[in-house]
Structure 1
Amino acid sequence: MLDLTKKSRKYNLKTLRPHKHKQLEFFIADDVDISTFRDELASMEHPFFALKAGDVRDREYKNGAVTVTVKPTSSGLATVFDKDIWIYAISKLLEAINDHQPISRTIAFTPYDFFVTTNREIGGRTYKELEKSLERLAGTRITTNIIYSSDKQESVGFGLIDSWRILDEKKGKLEIGMVEITLPDWLYEGITKEKILKISPDYFRIRKAIDRRLYEIARKHCGNQHEFSISLEKLHLKTGSTATSSKFKFNIKQLAKTNDLPDYEILFDPLTEKVTFKNRQQDISSAEVSRKKEKGKREVFKIKKSLLNK
C-alpha cells in the first residue's frame, strides 16, 4: 500500500515539477557581488515613483491599455532615489538566480553594502535617509493592470515593499543593524520571470531625479537600437513630472545641451517638439553629424521666429 504520510508524499509527487528557484527564509544580499545592475521593466516605462520627496497627491496614469494608480503614505510618495533599494534588491537576486543559488522574497542587507553599491555617502544622515526611504516604499500603494502572474486578474494592488525592519539583535546569520525587507509578490514574480533590463552602473551617479527617469525611459524604449523618438508631451507624461510644460521643456533642453546621460545621447527638435534618444554605441563621426544637423535645425528655427516677430 502506498505510504501517504506527509513526509513520503513530499518525495513521491509526480504531477508537480520541482521548484525552479529554491526558497529561503531570507536572502542575504551582502553575500552576492553584483556584476550587472538591473531594473524592472514596467517601472522603467511608467511613473511608479515620484521625482521629489513630499508629494502627497494621488496619481492616476494611463497609457494606451495600461493603467497605474499611485497612492502615497502621509510622508509622501516613494521617490526615484528610493527606487535604488528596488534596483539593489533586483540586481542581487538576479545574480543569485544566474548563479543557481536559492533566493527569497525577504532580503537582508547591511546599510554599508547598500550605500557602497549605490554610490552613496556613508554617515548618520544617510542612515536616517535610508529609514525614510523604507517608510515611503512601504507606504506607497500601486494599483495596476500590468500582471506578471499566470492568474487571470484585471488588476493588482501592492505596496512597493511589503514590510521592513532594522534588526536590533543578532539572529543566526543576521547581525545587529542589518535591514530586512520583503518584496511584493508582483515584483518578485517579475524578477523570477526576468521582466528586467540591464542598466548602466553610472545610473547611480546621475544627480537629478528627472535625468534618472529620462535614462530609464531611454533604456526601456531605445535599448540597443540606434534611436528612439517621442513627443515632448508624451515624454512629460511618462516621467511623472509635475513641472509645467515650459519648465519640463527647459529641463530637456538643458540635458540635451550637456548631453552626458549614460549610454544615450538626447536631442530636442524645437520645430516638431520631439525628443530623440540615440544609442552612444554608434560611431563618433555619425554622432557628430547628428549634432550638426540638430544645430542647423535650431538655427533655422531661430531665423524663422525672428522673421515672424518682425
Structure 2
Amino acid sequence: MTPPTPQGELFLLDSPLTGEIRGERSLMAFPFFALSKNAWMKPLAYATGDVSIEVRPSARGVATIYDKEIVLYIASLMAAKLDQGAAVAQDFVFTAHDLFSVTGANHSARSYARLADALERLQGTQIRTNIEAGGEGEEGFFSWLSEARLQYARTRSGDKRLKAVKVRLCDWLFRAILRDRQVLDYASTYFQLGPIERRIYEVARSTCVEGEPLEIDLATFRLQIGFQNHLANFRIAVRQIAAAGAIPDYHLQLIEEAPADAPVPEGEPGRRTGRKAGRAKVIITRRAPALTEEAQAEAGIGEQDAPSFL
C-alpha cells in the first residue's frame, strides 16, 4: 500500500516502483515510437494484413523510444498495483527521482529538462490503430498521455523544486493492461541498449514467449522494428548487432544469401561480387538459461566444463 506523504503534500505517490519493469505486449510487438534521441518530425506508419498503425508528430515531434521509458514505468506501476490486488485508476503520480533511478538516467538538470520535453511529446503525439485493447476498438486518434503535469514547490530562495509528475494514461493502453493482462517483464539491461537493440529485444520478447524461434525476412523485420532508413543500412546494423550478441536473453542470427546473378571472379568459385545485395532473413531464438552453481554441482559439472550459451 502506498505510504502517506509528508504533511504539506497534496497528493499520494504511486512510486517508488517495487516490481520489475514491464510492458504491454502490443507496444513491444509493433513500432509505435521513433527510433531517435532527437526530435523526429515525420509521421510514422505501419501496415500489414491485420495491423495498421499511424503516428502523427506534435510540434516537438513523434514520441521516441527513449520517451517510451516513461510509458514503461507507468505500465509497471499499474501492473504492480494489479498484482497486489489494489484498485487502479488512469491517474499516476510519481517522483522524477524514482523514474530516473529505474531507467538509469542521471539526476542532472538536463535530465529534468528532457523529462519535460518527453512528457510533451507523449501528450502531443497522435496515434491511430486498429489494434483492439480490452475487447474494444477505437476510431480516431489518441495520445499516450491525455494529461501530463510537473508539480513543483518554491524554495526559500524562490527556485522551483520538482515535487512530482502527474499523468493520466490514455484509455487504450489502460484497457489493454487492465483487461487483457498481456504484460511481459523486461530484461534488467534493457535501458542500457541502443534504440535498434531495444526494438529487436521487444519484438523477440513479445514473439518468442513460448520458446518458438522467430524466422522473418529482413525487409519485413525492418518494418516491424520501425527502422526508417534504407534496408541496406538496416542490414549493416543487424549484422553488427548479431555479431556483438547484444540482445539480452536472445540469440540473433542474420542469414544472407548471395544474389544469384552476381558475377563469380575467376579463380574464386566460392566468392560472389556485385553491388546488388542478396536476400536475407533473421532468426531469433531464446538463449538457454545459464546453470547456477548449485545446478552445476548437482549435475557434476565443474566451472571449466560449464556449457556456454553465448
Same fold per TM (> 0.5)?
Answer: yes
- Find the aligned partners of 1:38 and 1:158 in 2 and give their Cα distance: 22
Amino acid at match of 1:252: V
Unaligned runs of 5+ in 2: 1-9, 155-160, 258-278, 291-305
Aligned to 1:196: 183
Report the alpha carbon displacement of residue 57 of structure 1 after superposing the two structures with TM: 1.2
Structure 1 runs of 4+ aligned residues shifted over 6 Å read none
Aligned to 1:43: 27
Amino acid at match of 2:148: W
Other structure's SS at 2:191 match: helix
Instruction: Give aligned pairs, total.
Output: 257
Instruction: Spell out the pairing of 1:156-305 with structure 2 (5 A cutoff).
Output: 156-169=140-153, 177-193=163-179, 194-206=181-193, 208-271=194-257, 272-281=279-288
CA contact (8 A) 1:58 1:69 kept: yes
- Find the aligned partners of 1:26 and 1:46 in 2 and give their Cα distance: 35
CA contact (8 A) 1:147 1:156 kept: no
Aligned to 1:146: 131
Other structure's SS at 2:22 match: strand
- Provide closer, same or farther for how the CA distance between residues 119 and 154 of structure 1 changes in structure 2, counting only shifts above 3 A: closer
- Find the aligned partners of 2:92 and 2:11 in 1 and give their Cα distance: 6
Amino acid at match of 2:97: Y
Cα deviation code 1:271-302 (max 9, x no counterpart): 251111111126786857xxxxxxxxxxxxxx
Given candidates 44, 50, 64, the residue that maps to 1:65 is 50
Other structure's SS at 2:41 match: coil
Cα deviation code 1:133-152 (max 9, x no counterpart): 1011011010111111444x
CA contact (8 A) 2:16 2:98 kept: no
Other structure's SS at 1:177 match: strand
Report the alpha carbon displacement of residue 54 of structure 1 after superposing the two structures with TM: 1.7
Given candidates 79, 103, 128, the residue that maps to 1:94 is 79
- Provide closer, same or farther for how the CA distance between residues 282 and 101 of structure 1 changes in structure 2, counting only shifts above 3 A: closer
Unaligned runs of 5+ in 1: 1-24, 289-310
Report the alpha carbon displacement of residue 239 of structure 1 after superposing the two structures with TM: 1.1
- Find the aligned partners of 1:45 and 1:147 in 2 and give their Cα distance: 14
- Provide closer, same or farther for how the CA distance between residues 286 and 117 of structure 1 changes in structure 2, counting only shifts above 3 A: closer
Structure having the higher helix fraction is: 1
Amino acid at match of 2:27: S
Aligned to 1:80: 65
**Please, what TM-score do these two structures have when normalized by structure 1?**
0.77
**Please, what TM-score do these two structures have when normalized by structure 2?**
0.77
- Superposed CA RMSD in Å reads 2.2
- Provide closer, same or farther for how the CA distance between residues 238 and 89 of structure 1 changes in structure 2, counting only shifts above 3 A: same
Amino acid at match of 2:186: I
Amino acid at match of 2:86: Q
- Find the aligned partners of 1:136 and 1:270 in 2 and give their Cα distance: 38
Cα deviation code 1:19-40 (max 9, x no counterpart): xxxxxx9872215412x22111
- Provide closer, same or farther for how the CA distance between residues 166 and 286 of structure 1 changes in structure 2, counting only shifts above 3 A: closer
Cα deviation code 1:26-75 (max 9, x no counterpart): 872215412x2211111211110000132111222102221111001011
Report the alpha carbon displacement of residue 180 of structure 1 after superposing the two structures with TM: 0.4
- Find the aligned partners of 1:281 and 1:74 in 2 and give their Cα distance: 45
Name which of structure 1's ranges 279-288 and 50-59 shifts more when overlaid on structure 2: 279-288
CA contact (8 A) 1:78 1:137 kept: yes
